[in-house]
Amino acid sequence: MGVNLSVKDGRDAMKKWLNALLKVLIITVAGSVVVVMIGLIARWQTPVQFSDGFFWAGVVLGGVGVLGSFGDKNMRFNAGVKYLQSPPQEKYTQLSGAEDENARVKQSVMDSGKSFNSYLLLFFSAILIILIGYLVTVIF
């Protein structure tokens, strides 16, 4: 039975990695399409112009990823929303201070880990977009 658990854990880990890779590729393709559309609208004619566009798109995307990971945006921006969306019983325990502190800390750590992972995906996508910009100048 212990073998089945480790195999299942391995499959779950593989699914998470593949899911993350898919998200990075989707973000990268979307960012690349935006850069190409801007280039076509602005009538860029040289590979260097497109390369610069990819570079700056990667810088912006990476900046969002890096700067966003410095803080837990869920605690800053969504604290009131989480309170409003909680059932009445949870509202009363939060208001009375009878809420379990350990559960609150665990939930906070899980929320901040999720937001950090999404910013990490943005950062990896930014690196790929910058590499695409480099390849544009090398290939063309």
pTM of the model: 0.65
Digit-coded pLDDT (tens) for 77-101: 554 445 445 566 665 565 555 555 5
CA 132 from chain center: how many Å? 19
**Rounded-to-integer distance, Cα 140 and Cα 136, Å:** 6
Digit-coded pLDDT (tens) for 109-132: 555 555 667 888 888 999 999 999
Residue spans per domain, the chain: 2-75+102-139
Number of Cβ within 10 Å of residue 91's Cβ equals: 13
Higher pLDDT, 55 or 84: 55
Higher pLDDT, 108 or 135: 135
Digit-coded pLDDT (tens) for 11-44: 888 888 899 899 999 999 999 999 999 999 999 9
Q: Sort 74 into a burial class: Cβ within 10 Å, 0-12 / 13-18 / 19+.
A: middle
